[in-house]
Amino acid sequence: MTQEVEALLTEHFRYTPLSLIDDIINTVNTIIYRAIEAIENGLFSIPPQQLGYSPDSDTSTNSIAPDTEHPEAKDEIENGVHQLETLLEATVDKTFDKFEIYTLRNILTVPDDLAPWMRLGHYEGLTLPLPSNTPTPESILALRRKVQETRKLNLSLRNTHAKNATTTTQLRSLLSSPLPKAEEQVSPPSSSSTDPLLAFLTTQPSAKSLGLSLSQPSLNPTAKGRSTNPLETNIQFFISQLPALRQALAELKPRLKTLPEKVGDVDWESRREERRAYIEGRVRKVVDGIGGSGEGMKGVKVGREEVRDLERVVGDMGGERMEE
């Protein structure tokens, strides 16, 4: 049997021809084993005297079990059953080998010259060979995966849209006046209850100086395309300045490396000495200008408060030196 014929029969029967023959042989072997087991149980149930064995004079049949009266009978029965089982197995194998060969050659077979021309029932209505644009299993699997990914993306976008809609609603509620309750409709509404939640952004003096407003944007008919909403204009201006802020931040990052990491790493002693030397130099210049005939300070008027400040600085420096 060729592979083409075997494939044709397998597709027609939905199982291989050899599996059918194996099932038949296994069924026959099961029947043989059951028959041999029944024969063995029947022989053991028959008394040994009926099988031709003479009774033992030293033992009584009522006091001793039958299998211990004649042990040679048990051995012969087991040996005979085993030989019968071996004979039947050999006979079945030899007979069913012939049955297998005959079945595969004469029953479960199709002539080799006829197999290419046979068409099974589930091929009715199909155009063979298939057109070039017929989808293949690989292309169908790829399309299924694309559909699955598209559904996942659609679900993710829907969830994101729902979250954005909730956030937009919350932000709009901050920019709009809250609706009065049924109990509050009797009393006249106050200015604090009708103001938006973000009214503090426009009520502060600094916000008024910048012209911030929470009113809805509108277009000025006199100015084409210009928005009269200061808040929107300022936000657009802030957004336009973000690149410059990023550039300034990038320039400051290298300078941060030159600064000490901790406050304890700063050399405060050297900085204090520099400050003291600077103050002494400035005081010396002033004192030299005031002393003597005052030639060094011609045309310069020194106020009384300035002189007192200088005296206090000199006194502080003198106290620090005394402490040292």
**173/230 Cα distance (integer angstroms):** 20
CB 2 within 8 A of CB 104: no
* Helix boundaries (H) for the chain: 3-13, 17-45, 66-69, 71-102, 137-175, 191-194, 200-203, 205-210, 230-256, 268-290, 304-323
**18/101 Cα distance (integer angstroms):** 10
**43/24 Cα distance (integer angstroms):** 29
Dihedral sign for Cα atoms in the order 291, 295, 296, 299: positive
Which tokens go with 237?
Answer: 């201006």
- In this predicted structure, what is the pLDDT of residue 98? 93
Q: What is the DSSP letter of 107?
A: I
CB 175 within 8 A of CB 152: no
Query: Three-state SS for 219?
Result: strand
- In this predicted structure, what is the pLDDT of residue 157? 96
- In this predicted structure, what is the pLDDT of residue 286? 80
Which tokens go with 139?
Answer: 């292309």
Spatial CB neighbours of 80, under 8 Å, sequence gap ≥ 6: 43
Q: What is the DSSP letter of 296?
A: G
pLDDT in tens, the chain (324 residues): 788 888 888 888 888 889 999 999 999 999 999 999 999 998 888 887 777 777 654 444 443 444 455 777 888 888 989 999 999 999 999 999 999 999 988 888 888 888 778 878 877 777 777 778 888 889 999 999 999 999 999 999 999 999 999 988 887 777 655 545 444 444 444 444 555 556 666 666 666 666 665 555 544 544 444 445 566 677 777 788 888 888 888 888 888 777 766 655 556 667 777 888 888 888 888 877 765 444 444 555 666 777 777 777 777 665 444 444
Which tokens go with 270?
Answer: 């050297």
**14/71 Cα distance (integer angstroms):** 54
Structure-token match 């084993």, residue found: 33
* Helix boundaries (H) for 204-263: 205-210, 230-256
Q: Which residues pair with 219 in a beta bridge?
A: 227
Burial class (CB in 10 A: 0-12, 13-18, 19+), 115: middle
Burial class (CB in 10 A: 0-12, 13-18, 19+), 1: middle
CB 42 within 8 A of CB 48: no
Q: Which residues pair with 227 in a beta bridge?
A: 219
CB 217 within 8 A of CB 227: yes
What are the angstrom distances between the C-alpha of 277 and each of 186, 266, 284, 286, 317?
76, 19, 10, 14, 10
